[in-house]
Structure 1
Amino acid sequence: MRRTPQDSVELPRRMKHLPVDRRGYPVIATVDRGPQAVDFGAISERRKLALATFDWCAVCGGPFADEARWQMVMQEGPVPEAVAGEAPVHEVCALYAAQVCPFLFSPQSRLGDEFRKGMVRDAVVRFVGFESTSSVIAHESGLQQGVHTLHFAHQKQVDEFSYHSPDEIQDRFADALANERDLPVSDAEQVLIALFNRLDDEGDGAVVTGAALAAGAAFAKDVFLVQGMKRFTAKPYRAVAGLLLKGSADEVLEFSNGSQDEAFRVVGPWVLERADTMPLPLQQWRKRGENMVRRSDPKRPEGPGRSVSKNAACPCGSGRKARRCHPAGIALN
C-alpha cells in the first residue's frame, strides 16, 4: 500500500478526538460531512458559523482560549490585520495540516473545485498568528453571485512561519507537539464540541449551528443569506436568541433544561458561564441584538406563545407544550 504524508506525521493530542473517515483520515472540523461520506474539498459555511460563535479551531474543533489564531496569508511584510474566508486554526493544527493536506504540502498542488480549478499553491506558504479574531461578517461571495460567505477579520500579529517544503517546519512542529497543552473546556462546551465533531450531526453541523444561532449568531447581519443557512429561516432562532440575550438566568436555564435538542440543553449554560468572556464576534452580534429584541412585559405577554394553542408545541423549538415552556410567549422584536 502506498504511504501518504499522514502515515509518518504525529497527530496532535488535541486532534485525537476527531472522527476518521473510511480511509482513516481525521475529519477536520470545517469540512462537509455526513454518516456516509466526507468531502474534504468543501468548506461548510454552517460549520464556520459555529466555529466563529464559540471561538473554535477549524481543524480540531476545540477552543482557542488564550492561544493565537493562525491564518494562511498571501501578502508579504508585516500583517497587523487580515481578513480571510477560512476560519482560523491553532498553530499545532496548522503545522500538522501543512504536512498532510495535499494542497499545503506540495508546491505543485492544484485546487480542483469548480470555481478555482487550476489554481496552484504559492511557492512559499505563509501562516501568520494573530492575537484575536476581531469580527466575522457575511459578504457576498466573489465566486458565486448572490451567495454570502463568512469572512474572519484578525488583528495584532504575534508570530509567523513560512515554508516551501514541509521538511522546513518539522522542528517547529516537534516543538509545538512538545509544548501542546490542554485548553480549558467546561462541561457544557465539551458537549457542544462532541456534537459538532461527530459525523452524523443531522446533516453538516445542523445541531450545533442551531445552538450558535441561539447563542446570538442569529443577530449577525445577513446571517440567513449565508450559503446553507436557508434551512434555519423557518424556525424562530432569533426569538430564542432574544431569550438567551435578555432573559434572566432562571429563564435561560428553564429553557435549556426543558429542551429536547441536545445542543440547546447546554447552550444556555454556556451563554451564562461565558457572559463576561464571550468571543468578540459573538459580543458584537449580541450587542446588535440588543436593539432588535424587546423584553416582554409580564403583565402583557406577547409573541408566538400567545398565537398557538396552550397544548401545542412551543414555538421556541424545545419540544415542550407552550403552556409549560413559555406561557408568557417569546418577544420577536
Structure 2
Amino acid sequence: MKHTPQGTVALPRRMSHLEVDRRGYPVIATVDRSPQEVHFGGISERRKLALAAFDWCAVCGMPFADELRWQMVFQDGPLPASVISGEAPVHEVCALYAAQVCPYLYSHRSRLGDEMRKGTVRDPMVRFAGFRSTSAVHAYESQLQPGIFTLHFEHRGQADEFSYRTPDEISGRFSDALEQEEDLPVSDAEGVLIRLFNRLDEGGEVAGAALAAGAAFARDIFEVQGFGPYRGKSYATVAGLLLKGTEQEIRDFSSGAGDEAFSAVGPWVLERDGQFPTPLQRWRARGQSMVRRPAPSLPQGPGRNVTKNAPCPCGSGRKARRCHPSGVAG
C-alpha cells in the first residue's frame, strides 16, 4: 500500500522492485534522477531510449509482453490509425496507479513545475488509450527549441480506453486490474538490465546498452537531448557487432565487456533470436545497410573439409561450426 495525499493506494506487484525517494514515493522508470534528488517533473530522453529498445513500461520499467501499451491522449472522438506521443507507454495497471498518486493526473487544478511546461494544467477529462503495438520510435526536432531532438512513440491498433474526471471514477477498474495482474516474463539477462536501470543514478549504462542493441542506427539518435556524450564510433561499432557478429563473437564481447550492462545486452540479443521489439527491429534493419563486415578469409587447413556438425579438428570436442566456424589454420 502507498499512503499519498490522495489516500491509500495499493502498489501493483510489478512496481515492487522500484526504488523510492525520500518521501517513500516509487521512482518511476522514465523520470530523471540522481542519488541525491529525483526530478519527477523531468523526463529523461536517455531513459526513454532504453524503454523503447527493450520494450519496457515507463512507470514500472518491466516488459510489456502481450499486454496493451497505454498512452494518455488529448483528442476527442475516434483516434487516427496511428497516434504519436512524446511520452513513453505504460501498462494499464500502472496508468491506473499513476492516476491516483500523480498530482498532475489526479487533479485538473494541479500544475506542472518543470521549466518547459511550467504552469500547465491538465484537461478536466483525462483519456487513456490502449494500443496493441508500439510501431516505431522517432527522433523529432522540437518546434519550440530548434536543434533539440526528443523521442516520440508511435502506436497502432487501439483496442481499449478509459477516461475520468476524478480518480474515484476508475477505482473499480483499478481493483480489477490488480486482481488480474500477472507476473511478467523476465530472463536472467533482461533482469540484470532492469536492475541496473532502476538504480537511483542516470542509468547511463543501460542507455548505452540500448544503443549497442541497435538503437545506435536510429536516425538522428545522437542529436537527441542528452546523447551528446555518446557521440563517436564506439557505440556504432558495438552495435554492428551485435547486429552481424557470430554467436561466439557476441559471447566473447559480452564476457570481456567489463561493464555489467554491456555484459548482459549480448546474451539478451542472442536469446531474442531475431524477435526484437518492433522499434528496435526497425533500427536494426536500418543498420543492415550501414554496417560493413569484412569478408571472411578463406579457411585454411583441415577445417575446410569438416562438416559444420562434426567435431572441430582443433581437438576441443565442440562442433566445428561453434568452435572454428571459418576453419582451422594449417
TM-score normalised according to structure 1 size? 0.86
CA deviation after TM superposition for structure 1 residue 109, in Å:
1.4
Aligned to 1:140: 141
CA deviation after TM superposition for structure 1 residue 253, in Å:
0.6
CA deviation after TM superposition for structure 1 residue 234, in Å:
3.6
Aligned to 2:55: 55
Aligned to 2:186: 185
Which has more radius of gyration? Answer: 2
Pick closer, same or farther for the CA change 1:240–1:6 going to 2, 3 Å: farther
CA deviation after TM superposition for structure 1 residue 208, in Å:
0.1
TM-score normalised according to structure 2 size? 0.87
Aligned to 2:22: 22
Length, aligned pairs only: 295
CA deviation after TM superposition for structure 1 residue 112, in Å:
2.2
1:214 aligns with 2:215: no
**Partner of 1:263: helix, strand, or coil?**
helix
Aligned to 2:307: none
CA deviation after TM superposition for structure 1 residue 7, in Å:
5.0
CA deviation after TM superposition for structure 1 residue 214, in Å:
0.3
**Partner of 2:229: helix, strand, or coil?**
helix
Aligned to 2:105: 104
CA RMSD of aligned residues (A): 1.3
Instruction: Tell me the amino acid that sits aligned with residue 105 of structure 2.
Output: L
**Partner of 2:236: helix, strand, or coil?**
helix
1:280 to 278, 281, 289: 278
Distance 1:177 1:244 in 2: 38
Q: What pairs up with 1:233-272 in 2 under 5 angstroms?
A: 233-234=231-232, 236-272=234-270
Q: What pairs up with 1:155-166 in 2 under 5 angstroms?
A: 155-166=156-167
Pick closer, same or farther for the CA change 1:296–1:95 going to 2, 3 Å: same
Distance 1:6 1:209 in 2: 34
Distance 2:143 2:76 in 1: 23
Q: What pairs up with 1:72-151 in 2 under 5 angstroms?
A: 72-79=72-79, 80-151=81-152
**Partner of 2:275: helix, strand, or coil?**
coil
Q: Which runs of 5+ in 2 are unaligned?
A: 299-330
Distance 2:28 2:216 in 1: 25
CA deviation after TM superposition for structure 1 residue 235, in Å:
5.3
1:202-249 residue CA offsets vs partner (Å, 9 max, x unmatched): xx1211000000000000000000000001114510000000000011
Q: Structure 1: which 4+ aligned runs deviate by more than 4 Å?
A: none
Whether the aligned pair in 2 keeps the contact of 1:115 and 1:143 (CA below 8 Å) is no
Whether the aligned pair in 2 keeps the contact of 1:104 and 1:125 (CA below 8 Å) is yes
CA deviation after TM superposition for structure 1 residue 135, in Å:
0.1
Whether the aligned pair in 2 keeps the contact of 1:69 and 1:89 (CA below 8 Å) is yes
Distance 2:4 2:67 in 1: 30
CA deviation after TM superposition for structure 1 residue 6, in Å:
6.1
Distance 1:163 1:173 in 2: 12
CA deviation after TM superposition for structure 1 residue 273, in Å:
1.0
Aligned to 1:295: 293
CA deviation after TM superposition for structure 1 residue 111, in Å:
1.8
Distance 1:6 1:297 in 2: 63
Instruction: Tell me the amino acid that sits aligned with residue 4 of structure 2.
Output: T
Distance 1:46 1:98 in 2: 24
Distance 1:154 1:123 in 2: 24
CA deviation after TM superposition for structure 1 residue 285, in Å:
0.2
Whether the aligned pair in 2 keeps the contact of 1:103 and 1:109 (CA below 8 Å) is yes
**Partner of 1:221: helix, strand, or coil?**
coil
Q: Which runs of 5+ in 1 are unaligned?
A: 301-333
Pick closer, same or farther for the CA change 1:177–1:221 going to 2, 3 Å: same
Please identify, of 105-114 and 258-267, the stretch whose mean Cα deviation from structure 2 is larger.
105-114
Aligned to 1:304: none
Aligned to 1:46: 46
**Partner of 1:96: helix, strand, or coil?**
helix
Distance 2:171 2:120 in 1: 26
**Partner of 1:8: helix, strand, or coil?**
strand
Aligned to 1:198: 199
**Partner of 2:260: helix, strand, or coil?**
coil
CA deviation after TM superposition for structure 1 residue 35, in Å:
1.0
CA deviation after TM superposition for structure 1 residue 145, in Å:
1.9
**Partner of 1:131: helix, strand, or coil?**
strand
Instruction: Tell me the amino acid that sits aligned with residue 8 of structure 1.
Output: T
Distance 1:185 1:142 in 2: 38
Q: Percent identity?
A: 69
